[in-house]
Amino acid sequence: MKKAVGIDIGGTNTRISFITEKGHVLKQAIFKTPNSKSPEKTIYEIFLKVKNLKILSPSIPVGLAVPALVDPQSGIVKLAPNLNWRNFNLKETLLKKFKLKKIVFENDANCAAWAIYKKQKDKIKNLCVVTLGTGVGGGYIHNGKLLQKQGTSIFEIGHIKIDPDGPKCGCGGRGCLETFCGARHMNRWAKKFWKKTSFKNKNLTPLEIEIQARRGKIWARKVWQEYGKYLGLGLSNVINLLAPQKIALTGGISAAYPLFKKDLIESIFENALPQYTQNLKIEKIKWNRFTGSIGAGLLALH
């Protein structure tokens, strides 16, 4: 059976999955992403750690997931803000130092989407995967193929616009979906709902808001209703463009799905073309932090 190594380089941690072509995990590891000044040194240190796991060999393909816009062919990372990489040629650096048969590159959210697509029980061919975490990311599978483009990774769903007068986003734009549904930005608008509570001057995490909502606090429930509404608006744009058969929600915040499900669905039905929503499935996929590395490995085997 064919095997591959998937490496997911995160801003904080790097996760490794050694997998079979069916996506079964043979070995996994996690370590802090080295904090070197030069990207060459960082990547070199990562590969030395992977080498120590005794899973690398010249016959094993390797997939790399990076939190950035990356060219899947050339392996050039245009900009990875969390890693401080700019126009860095990953492929060249790796092939020079390590004997590798095949190495592929993708954005981390696209890798996670591919893993979720491959693991589906219902084998749906048109799938939109949305990762709700610190930011909002995603990947799209169209007719059984990951949406990819030569020159850069695509499907930056977190940066579709849902409010022209909305807050500034890290991308330089305004009113992006991420500024409403990313954990990093939630506080800004959600605060208005806990004005009359003891949390008035505190910044709450999505998990804290979730706990309060589950305890029945009205203000917290309102936060999640609003969350569902914004997310539904963003997803409607994707539905109207690509008509997915299924939307899979994952990431840390998706744990609160039961709290925003009703408003999300209402918002989708209100904003998306009815022809496209008739048979649309919406599913929550349990978040596993190794999903990106598994997807990277599966892409290397593809």
Residues at the contact surface with Zn ion, assessed by CB under 5 A: 159, 169, 171, 173, 176
CB of 139 to Zn ion, least distance (A): 17
Which residue number, 7 or 233, has a Cβ lying nearer to Zn ion? 233
Residue 111 burial (C-beta neighbours within 10 Å; 0-12, 13-18, 19+): buried
CB of 174 to Zn ion, least distance (A): 8
DSSP 256: G
Residues 22 and 35: their CA atoms lie apart, in Å, by 33
CB of 178 to Zn ion, least distance (A): 6
Which residue number, 169 or 282, has a Cβ lying nearer to Zn ion? 169
CB of 185 to Zn ion, least distance (A): 10
265, HSE (Cβ side, Cα atoms, 13 Å):
13
N-to-C CA span, the chain: 14
Which residue number, 39 or 138, has a Cβ lying nearer to Zn ion? 138
Of the candidates 179, 213, 180, 175, the residue with the CA atom closest to the CA atom of residue 194 = 213
CB of 158 to Zn ion, least distance (A): 6
Which residue number, 15 or 159, has a Cβ lying nearer to Zn ion? 159
CB of 231 to Zn ion, least distance (A): 15
Residues 209 and 7: their CA atoms lie apart, in Å, by 33
Strand extents, DSSP E, 156-284? 246-250, 281-284
285 with 249: CB under 8 angstroms? yes
For strand 281-284 and strand 246-250, is the pairing parallel, antiparallel, or unpaired? parallel
Which residue number, 63 or 166, has a Cβ lying nearer to Zn ion? 166
Q: What value does the CA radius of gyration of the chain take, rounded to a whole number of Å? A: 20
Which residue number, 83 or 177, has a Cβ lying nearer to Zn ion? 177
